[in-house]
Amino acid sequence: MRNTIPFLAALPLRRTETQRYRVRDSVSTIETEAAVEPAYLRTVLAQWASGVVIVTTIREDGERHGMTASSFTSVALDPPLVSVCLASDGTTCRMVRRSGVFAVNVLGSEHRDIGRRFAEPGQDADRFAVGDWSTATTGAAVLTDATAWLDCVVAACHPAGDHTIVLGMVRDAAVPRPAEPLIYHDRTYHEGMAR
């Protein structure tokens, strides 16, 4: 029998409509017939445990910018490709598309504060005030004590609903400090398993 989440029982599971999402010059049209409601989907997906990264890039004025992400995926080894999935109307997505570069910083279990800070909405506070940052070859910021980082140039951007799948060609990568990973599950940060 299906194991439902009680407080979501009232939410409709399905809706029927066609959505068009515009990302700069391209439009992604998704038939959402039989799609699961976004609020329900968010709760279901919260059960998926993931690592946490900070995606950094360069603003128009040359300053650094970054945000917390869990959608990081390795895509190919040859050529070396990775992807992140960014909200198309977010600042980071816009700046990654504009600059054509980004870095992915894999957080360790002691980096919760950084994960929280880079997810806070608004651009007023300097997100980089927490953590020790340096600059990689592309100009994107990398965390000096990251579990790992990958410095990338944008290879392609694919609109996908209200998000954009950003494919990055890895230009440089490092493992500055192997450590237990930071894990995100059920909207909570957890320490990864000890070795």
Ligand X SMILES: Cc1cc2nc3c(=O)[nH]c(=O)nc-3n(C[C@H](O)[C@H](O)[C@H](O)COP(=O)(O)O)c2cc1C
> Does 105 sit near ligand X (CB under 6 A)?
no
CA 42 – CA 46 distance, rounded (Å)? 6
Kindly write out the interface string for residues 108-137 of this chain, putting x where it contacts ligand X by CB under 6 A and - elsewhere: -----------x-x----------------
CB of 68 to ligand X, least distance (A): 4
> Does 87 sit near ligand X (CB under 6 A)?
yes
Looking from the CA of 97 toward its CB, the CA atoms found within 13 Å total 20
CB of 4 to ligand X, least distance (A): 24
CB of 99 to ligand X, least distance (A): 13
> Does 164 sit near ligand X (CB under 6 A)?
no
Q: Please, are residues 58 and 65 in contact by the beta-carbon 8 Å criterion?
A: yes
> Does 52 sit near ligand X (CB under 6 A)?
yes
Paired with 20 in beta bridges are 29
> Does 69 sit near ligand X (CB under 6 A)?
yes
Least Cα distance to 71 among 104, 30, 24 occurs for: 104
Please select the residue that binds ligand X; options are 23, 82, 86, 143, rule is CB under 6 A: 86
The string of DSSP letters for 63-94 reads -EEEEEES--EEEETTTTEEEEEEETTSHHHH
Give the max Cα distance, the chain: 55
> Does 157 sit near ligand X (CB under 6 A)?
no
> Does 82 sit near ligand X (CB under 6 A)?
no
Please select the residue that binds ligand X; options are 23, 58, 82, 85, rule is CB under 6 A: 85
In the chain, how many H helices and how many E strands?
3, 16
Residue 68's identity, in one-letter code, is T
CB of 1 to ligand X, least distance (A): 31
Q: Please, are residues 155 and 143 in contact by the beta-carbon 8 Å criterion?
A: no
Please select the residue that binds ligand X; options are 51, 90, 139, 176, rule is CB under 6 A: 90
Q: Give the footprint of ligand X on this chain (CB under 6 A).
A: 52, 67-71, 85-87, 90-92, 119, 121, 184
